[in-house]
Every structure is written in C-alpha cells, then in structure tokens.
Amino acid sequence: MKKEDTILFLHGGPDHKEEWNAVIKLLDEYQCLAMDLPGFGLTSKISNDFDFTIRSQVNYLSDWLINKHTSEKILLVGHDIGAILSLAWASEHKEEVSGLLLMNTVADRNFEWHKMAKIWGHKIWGRIFMFFVNNTFFKMGFSKDFPELAEVDVNNVAKGLSKTARRSLLKLFQKMTAPDYYDGWEDKFKKVVTEIPTTVLWGKQDPLVTQEYAHRLGGKVVMIEDCGHWVPRQKPYLVAEQIKKMLG
C-alpha cells in the first residue's frame, strides 16, 4: 500500500459519515473520502424502491465513486454495516483495493442479533419503535447503552436520524436479520481477505458483537482492550494510527 492511496470511510449504523470526522482530522496529509451509506445521513439520495440488498449497496457505492477522482488504489475503512459493504465491494473490485480495515462488524448468517437489531428488523415493532422514539429519547437510550461515548458523539449520531434515515435503518435491518441476506456473498468475503491485506481493529468491550467474530472475519486482528463498539468515535487516534501503519 502507498501513502498516495485514497482512504474511503464507510460508517456504521445508526450513524452517518461524520462518525469519521475525528479520524480524518488526524490524516490531513492523505486523500480521505467519507460516504453516507444509502439512505443514511444527510447527503445520500435513494429511490423509494431501493431494496437494501448487498448487491444494491455495492452498486450504489460504485456509482458514488464515479466522479470522486480517487487514486489508482483505495484503502477501504469500514465500521459495523460499513465494514460489510467494504467486504462486498472489495470482493468485486480487488484490482482497485489496496487494503481493508474492518471494525466491529459481523458477516455471519448464524449470528444471534442483539435485542435492538431484532426490533428494527421486525416489520411491526420496528415501525412502532421509530414512531414513539424521538431524538431526545433516542439520545437517552443511546447514552445508557453506550456510556463510554461523549455527549457530543451521542448528539452527532442523533443529528443524522432524519425520517429517511429512520426508514432506511428499518428496511436495512429487515433484510440484514433475515437468514438469506448473505447468500452468494459469504464465500466471496472469506476469499477476499486472503487476497487483499486485511486488518480487523476491534473494541473488545463491544456489547453488541463479541470478540470471537473479529477472528471469524479473517485477516490480522488488533484488539483494543478499553474500547466498545464505536471504535471510530471512542478511539479515533488508534484508527488513524492503524491506517498510517497500513499505508506505510
């Protein structure tokens, strides 16, 4: 990998591209791009019939990159749902990807989803949840579940919860929590991490995805002992440090 490579950041959910702001500030000598995933944040545009399959998300990212003037190679940095898209896109564009840095994600059909993911993925309870939980209540619940996050981070996450983002979150998790979500992709994921330099940077105290899933992804695992799920927000300097190591 080279310092001249473009670094592309793909955020987790529920979140948006500003999840990476603190990391990008530490990488001012590099070319950095951060994208709002389809339907998330304040900048992404999708049609009402966007189906949130992995294929649709891969196509969305390809279209988004067309006019971004990236370098010859891209280092993909993905957290949570953004890491799944990183794996998927890299598996079909190996010649364009110099490396993968993945954080606290799961790409396993047998994963036992956490309580909130099951609610979001339920066609009825998900809608009820979004109807009754405004941003104030969301921030209260988010702070309780992730006390390690600063208030400024909790407020920033909530800022991106537009009506479109809320609908997108429900549609995505309805797809993602179904057993066939990874059909046709699991073998590609396992193969790409053997063909492209891959590092898994993992917050060990993650209450959502246990550390065993870090090793299931493949690649080199770097464990952060005093960190939870939101690695880019909680430990941005460690993310930046890892990126610099990968780029040399």
Lateral strand order in the sheet of 6-10: 31-35, 6-10, 74-79, 97-103, 198-203, 220-224
Calpha distance 129→180 (Å, rounded): 25
Note the pLDDT of residue 72. Answer: 84
Beta bridge partners of 101: 77, 199
Q: Indicate the DSSP class of residue 248.
A: -
Which H/E stretch holds residue 232?
A: helix 231-234
Residue whose C-alpha is closest to residue 20's, from 8, 30, 9: 9
Is there a cis peptide before residue 14, judged by omega within 30 degrees of 0? Answer: yes
User: What mean pLDDT comes out for the span 45-71?
Assistant: 93
Query: Contact 78/103 with Cβ under 8 angstroms?
Result: yes
Note the pLDDT of residue 174. Answer: 96
**End-to-end Cα, the chain, rounded Å:** 7
Note the pLDDT of residue 244. Answer: 96
**pLDDT of 132 above 90:** no
Note the pLDDT of residue 3. Answer: 75
Calpha distance 221→205 (Å, rounded): 15
Confidence of residue 224 (pLDDT cuts 50, 70, 90): very high
**pLDDT of 94 above 90:** yes
DSSP string of 41-65? TTT----TT----HHHHHHHHHHHH
How many other CB atoms sit within 10 Å of the CB of residue 129? 17
Residue whose C-alpha is closest to residue 31's, from 83, 74, 93: 74
- Tens digit of each residue's pLDDT (9 = 90 or more) over 162-219: 999 999 999 999 999 998 999 999 999 999 999 999 999 999 999 999 999 999 999 9
Note the pLDDT of residue 67. Answer: 86
Note the pLDDT of residue 185. Answer: 97
User: What mean pLDDT comes out for the span 54-79?
Assistant: 94
Give the CB-side neighbour count of residue 56, counting CA atoms within 13 A.
Answer: 16
